[in-house]
A = this chain, B = another copy of it.
Amino acid sequence: MEHIVYLNGALMPLSEASLSPLDYGFLYGYGLFETMRAYSGRVFRLEEHLRRLRWSAELLGISTPLIEDLASAVYDTLEANRLANARVRMTLSAGRGEPIPDISSCKEATLLVTAREYTPHSDEIYQAGYKAIISTTRRNSASPVSSLKSLSYIENMLARREAVSAGADEAILLNEHDSVSEGSTSNIFLVSGGNLSTPAPESGLLPGITRGVVLELAAQAGIQATEHPVTTADLMGAEEVFCTNSVIEIMAVTAVQHQQIGTGKQGPVTEQLHSAYRMAIASETKS
């Protein structure tokens, strides 16, 4: 069956969906996206994703009457593709404008939703964890763009390419002060002395929805969690390191730059939080 996508209010086969080459998403990376997971037909923390998208769109001056119907756009796309367990991407750009850098020339935003079946990694992969490298690219903590999930994603893509070339699964980006910022497509957590820590937004990162859920779950479990600057030495010396995003959920990082972290496999705090995360999914995505 051909993929069905949602584009600007309508569902259509992917082959019939087309964008203007003058879309500002394409010309200038001027837009936003969200990546979400559907479990048994329900999208986990959908409202939080949509709230972030709406807030960021306001900041970029992108408005669309479709902004009220984002949740239906997501569910209609899932249903049209008969998907229950899926990875969903919503993309919002400023839409078509003149090919000169002038946002005021954009009249109508572009809203796209795509969904693909998603099969989670095996338990073996979660046990073994990810190997990470430290990217040569640095995050800019002084840029307002670092806190937006924008279509100007080339830095993240280059960091990912670096990881793939090195045979690793994820690339960790430092900021201009040599402090850990985030993974190329994830947030980073450390466990030290049984406590949790993660870089604060001031380190130049995108505070992910999953990151927020992990902080909530840690509080519920009585695990002390703080947001503060993290050095590479903190990372290397941690008992456990893990990374989070909406797709992989919570994944142990068991090596950084070929150096083993902790025991070299998923640690107990990581496992405990991932169990709690899956329980939250189960309870919140019940039909």
Given A19-B20, A30-B154, A33-B27; A138-B142 close (CB under 8 Å): yes
Query: This chain: how many copies in the complex?
Result: 2
Interfacial residues of chain A within 13-61, with CB under 8 A of chain B in the complex: 14, 17-23, 25-30, 33, 60-61
Chain B hits for A22, CB < 8 A: 14, 114
Complexed CA–CA distance, A184 and B101 (Å): 10
**Among A19, A26, A141, A144, residue most surrounded by chain B Cβ atoms (within 10 Å):** A26
In the complex, A160 has a CB within 8 A of chain B: yes
In the complex, A71 has a CB within 8 A of chain B: no
Docked-complex contact B154 and A150, CB < 8 angstroms: yes
Docked-complex contact B28 and A154, CB < 8 angstroms: yes
Complexed CA–CA distance, A8 and B158 (Å): 24
In the complex, A257 has a CB within 8 A of chain B: no
Interfacial residues of chain A within 106-123, with CB under 8 A of chain B in the complex: 112, 114, 116
Total count of chain A residues near the partner, CB < 8 A: 59
Q: Which of these, B23, B152, B160, contacts A101 with CB under 8 Å?
A: B160
Contact with B along A133-174 (1 / 0, CB 8 A): 000111111111100101111111110110010000000000
Q: Which of these, B25, B145, B185, contacts A26 with CB under 8 Å?
A: B25
Docked-complex contact B143 and A91, CB < 8 angstroms: no
